[in-house]
């Protein structure tokens, strides 16, 4: 090879190289993700957000609420929930529920709400706003001050949301509900169908949901700002409230099951959660027929364990019935619903509003309807229970509130644990909670909140600082 031919070949090679580079553009255009979708319509996002809220409400919050309401207690020989009984918690335990409520549910709801200007999506947006209000209330009742104004703004650049006071969160809940109510149009040709897992697009039910949620939220302020609560509730006079449960019902198909059941099955199908003596002894004392509607017989009787006695009490206490989702050995537990708000809750809320004189009506009747709805929900035969209880419906306002909340506690037993515990925090009812055997807190001291998740502590420069589980939230002033 001569020198010239070398130069020629070098030029040739460089030409090939430069062609390679210029041809690069197409060659390198392979970064379109074939594994994910670029867009999704509201009707695909709505059911996802609903199940996300229900996943937290029906599993994590149900377990904490159920144990802290002393409906059930950790079984002997199993160990999943010991630290909850001990009141020894870690922030990381709340990472997942917090993330699900914000990043899975609220983010998707916000994407729907952002399209409220499009007629086709307006009813979806109205529902999404109500669910967002519900989601916010769950979060603030559990954690206190939470990100509100800056929440779910990650994609627009807000990576470190500031926290807003619980008071502001409540103000916002009322305002979001009002906006949503104004958007509801049952006559719209664009109402959702079965993808609305709660009411299948029945917008009248959503109006009732809105009113009941608002009533519940205002009552939550009864102790901290009675005037505001009263004003808000008075304005609800004559509003329609829920007479049916706002709930998601599950099926037996794997992946579509009641979240508590699914969790317990995945944990090895141990009956971790058993009847607490706190609840059982009270129901027994009152001859409450619902006891066998709530718990399964063990050796022919309802057996219970003292709260937090898992180290010392091997005699198999009763397991909740399948309708509560907490029995992993019975496949029908998969069908247990998760109740966002129940019909009996609706009546008890109204009864309290009337008892407080903030709405007009017959507190006794509403109270009785609440108990009846609870019996009906679990196919229990009340016998003389209601008349006895109603006969005992006290005369003074304070005592009436006590009776209403205590009956609400019994009605929510094993199915609305978080709400029951939250109402106990607000009102102090029921009054018969015991210090768990293994409590790490001084006798008579109970948790007053969840801990902020670790993910906020370590990722959010605007995180306001950790709280203790005994620090009360803003509305908890008693």
Partner 1 sequence: MRKSLFFLLSTLLLVGQVVAQNRSVTGTVTSSEDGSAIIGATVVVKGTSNGTVTNMKGEYTIQVPENATVLVVRFVGMKDQEIKIGTGVKHNVVLFPDVTKLTETVITANAIRRDKSSLGYSAPTLKNDELTKGQSSSALNALAGKVAGVNISTSANAPGSSSRIVLRGGSSIGGNNQALMVVDGVPIDNSSIIGGGDSRSTVDFGNRGNDINPEDIESITVLKGPAAAALYGSRASNGALVITTKSGKKVSDNKKNEVTFTSAVTFSNVAKLPELQNDYGQGYDGVTNDPRENWSWGPKFDGKVQPWGQSINGVRREKPYSAAKDNIKNFFETGKAINNNLSLSGAGEKTTYYLSLNSLNSNGVMPGDYDKYNKYGIRFNGTAQLSNKFYTSVAVNYNKINSNLIQGGQGPGSVFNNVLQTARDIPIDKLGNMNDPYNSYGNTVDANGNPTYGFYGVYTTSPYYILKNFHNMNDVDRVSGNFTLGYKPLEWLDVLERLGADVYSDRRRYMYPKFDILPADDVPANDPKKWYDQVDNRVIQLGKYEEDQYNLSEITHDLMITAKKDFTPDFKTSLMVGNNIRQRVFNTLETQTNDANGLVIPGWYNLDNSNGPVKTFNEHTIRRLVALYADLNISYKNMLYLGATARNDWSSTLPQGNNSFFYPSVNGAFVFTELTKNTGLSHILNYGKVRASWAQVGNDANPYLLRTYFGKTDLSSGFGSLTFPFNSIPGFTYGNLIGNAALKPEITTAFEIGTELSFLDNRLSVDFSYYRNKSKDQILNVPIPPSSGFTAKVLNTGVVENKGIELSLRGMPIRTASGFSLELFGTYTRNKNTVLEITSGVDQVVVGGFGGMSIVAAKGRPYGTFYAQDLLRDAAGHVIVNANTGLPSLTPTAVYLGSYNPKYQASWGTTASYKGFSFNLLFDTKQGNQFYSRTKDITDFNGTAFETAEGGRTDVPFANSVVDDGTGKLVPNTNLTYSKQVYFSAHIPAGQHVIDASYIRLREASLSYRLPRQLLNRTPFGDLTVGLFGNNLALWTAKTNKFADPEVNSGGAGNEQGFDFTAQPSLRNYGFNVRVTF
Site for partner 1 in 216-275 (CB under 8 A): 251-257, 259, 261-269, 271
CB of 173 to partner 1, least distance (A): 16
Interaction with partner 1 in 327-356: which residues (CB under 8 A)?
Answer: 329
Give the integer Cα–Cα distance in Å for 328 and 330: 6
Q: Is 434 in the site for partner 1 (CB under 8 A)?
A: no
Identify which of residues 245 and 345 has a Cβ nearer to partner 1 in the complex.
245
Kindly state the smallest distance separating residue 37's Cβ from partner 1, in Å.
4
- Assigned token pair, 42: 């509201």
DSSP string, 174-194: HHHHHHHHHH--TT-TT---T
Alpha carbon distances (Å) from 153 to 53, 110, 148, 276: 19, 9, 10, 43
Closer CB to partner 1, 311 or 362, in the complex: 311
Nearest distance from C-beta of residue 116 to partner 1, angstroms:
17
Nearer to partner 1, 434 or 441 (CB): 441
Whole-angstrom CA distances from 265 to 198, 256, 272, 298, 334 are: 25, 13, 10, 20, 10
Using CB under 8 A as the binding rule, the residues of this chain from 118 to 177 that contact partner 1 are 146-147, 150-155, 158-161
Q: How far is CA 198 from the centre of its chain?
A: 14
Tokens 């409540």 locate to 170
Comparing CB distances to partner 1, the nearer of 390 and 469 is 469
**Segment contacting partner 1 by CB under 8 A, of 64-72, 82-90, 237-245, 404-412:** 82-90
Residue with smaller CB distance to partner 1, 165 or 365: 165
Pairing mode, strands 246-248 and 338-341: antiparallel
Among 7, 12, 79, 387, binds partner 1 (CB under 8 A): 79
Rounded to whole angstroms, the Cα distance separating 389 from 90 reads: 41
Rounded Cα–Cα distance for residues 460 and 162 (Å):
9
Site residues (CB under 8 A) for partner 1, limited to 395-424:
none
Of 3, 5, 8, 29, whose CA–CA distance to 16 is shortest? 8
Figure out which of the listed residues 239, 434, 448, 457 binds partner 1, where binding follows CB under 8 A. Answer: 457
Q: What is residue 247's three-state secondary structure?
A: strand
- Report the b/e string of 348-358 with b at 16+ CB within 10 A: bbbbbbbbbeb
7 makes contact with partner 1 (CB under 8 A): no
Which of 4, 301, 379, 461 forms a contact with partner 1 (CB under 8 A)? 461
Binding pattern for the stretch 177-196 against partner 1, x by CB under 8 A and - elsewhere: -----------------xx-
Strand-pair partners of 146: 164
The contacts of residue 165 (CB under 8 Å, 6+ apart) are 145, 474
Would you count residue 4 as binding partner 1 (CB under 8 A)? no
Rounded Cα gap, residues 275 and 421, in angstroms: 16
Between 82 and 228, CB nearer to partner 1: 82
> CB of residue 262 vs partner 1: minimum separation in angstroms?
3
In angstroms, give the least distance from the CB of 131 to partner 1.
Answer: 14
- The answer to whether 379 contacts partner 1 (rule: CB under 8 A) is no
Residue 72 is classified by DSSP as E
Contact between 1 and partner 1 by CB under 8 A: the answer reads yes
Residues from 15 through 34 that contact partner 1 (CB under 8 A): 17, 20-21, 24-25, 27-34
Residues 108-127, mask of contacts with partner 1 (x by CB under 8 A): x-xx----------------
- Whose Cβ is closer to partner 1: residue 297's or residue 398's? 297
Among 68, 71, 98, 474, binds partner 1 (CB under 8 A): 98
∠ CA 464-466-471, nearest 5°, is 110
Provide the minimum distance between the beta carbon of 412 and partner 1 in the complex, in angstroms, as a whole number: 21
φ/ψ of residue 463, rounded to 5? -65, 130
- Residue of 8, 461, 130, 67 lying closest to 278 (CA atoms): 67
Judged by CB under 8 A, the number of residues near partner 1 is: 115
Contact flag: residue 439 with partner 1 (CB under 8 A): yes
Q: How far is the CB of 22 from partner 1 (least distance, A)?
A: 11
Residue 320 as a binder of partner 1 (CB under 8 A): the answer is no
Polymer length in residues for the chain: 478
């Amino acid at each position: 090879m001569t020198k010239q031919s070398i130069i020629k070949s070098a030029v040739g090679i460089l030409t090939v190289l430069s062609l390679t580079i210029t041809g690069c553009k197409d060659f390198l255009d392979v970064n379109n993700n074939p594994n994910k979708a670029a867009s999704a319509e509201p009707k695909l996002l709505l059911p996802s957000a609903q199940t996300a809220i229900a996943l937290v409400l029906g599993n994590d919050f149900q377990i904490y609420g159920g144990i802290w309401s002393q409906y059930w207690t950790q079984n002997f020989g199993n160990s999943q929930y010991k630290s909850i009984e001990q009141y020894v918690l870690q922030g990381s335990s709340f990472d997942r529920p917090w993330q699900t409520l914000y990043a899975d549910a609220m983010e998707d709801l916000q994407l729907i709400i952002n399209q409220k200007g499009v007629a086709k999506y307006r009813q979806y947006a109205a529902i999404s706003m109500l669910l967002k209000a519900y989601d916010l209330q769950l979060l603030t009742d559990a954690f206190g001050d939470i990100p509100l104004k800056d929440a779910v703004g990650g994609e627009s650049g807000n990576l470190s949301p500031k926290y807003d006071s619980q008071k502001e969160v409540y103000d916002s809940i009322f305002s979001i509900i009002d906006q949503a109510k104004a958007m509801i149009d049952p006559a719209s040709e664009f109402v959702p169908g079965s993808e609305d897992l709660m009411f299948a697009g029945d917008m009248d039910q959503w109006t009732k949901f809105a009113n009941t949620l608002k009533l519940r939220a205002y009552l939550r302020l009864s102790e901290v700002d009675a005037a505001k609560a009263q004003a808000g509730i008075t304005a609800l006079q004559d509003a329609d409230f829920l007479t049916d449960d706002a709930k998601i019902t599950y099926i037996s198909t794997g992946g579509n099951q009641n979240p508590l059941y699914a969790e317990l099955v995945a944990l090895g199908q141990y009956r971790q959660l058993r009847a607490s003596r706190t609840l059982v002894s009270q129901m027994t004392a009152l001859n409450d027929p619902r006891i066998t509607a709530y718990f399964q017989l063990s050796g022919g009787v309802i057996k219970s364990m003292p709260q937090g006695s898992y180290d010392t009490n091997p005699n198999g206490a009763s397991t909740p019935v399948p309708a509560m989702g907490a029995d992993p050995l019975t496949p029908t537990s998969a069908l247990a619903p998760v109740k966002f708000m129940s019909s009996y809750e609706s009546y008890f809320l109204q009864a309290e509003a009337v008892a407080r004189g903030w709405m007009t009506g017959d507190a006794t009747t509403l109270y009785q309807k609440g108990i009846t709805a609870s019996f009906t929900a679990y196919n229990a035969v009340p016998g003389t229970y209601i008349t006895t209880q109603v006969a005992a419906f006290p005369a003074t306002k304070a005592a009436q509130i006590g009776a209403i909340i205590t009956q609400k506690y019994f009605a929510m037993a094993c199915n609305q644990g978080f709400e029951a515990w939250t109402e106990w925090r607000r009102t102090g009812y029921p009054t018969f909670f015991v210090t768990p055997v293994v409590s790490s807190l001084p006798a008579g001291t109970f948790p007053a909140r969840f801990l902020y998740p670790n993910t906020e502590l370590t990722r959010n420069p605007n995180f306001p600082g950790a709280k203790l589980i005994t620090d009360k939230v803003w509305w908890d002033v008693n």
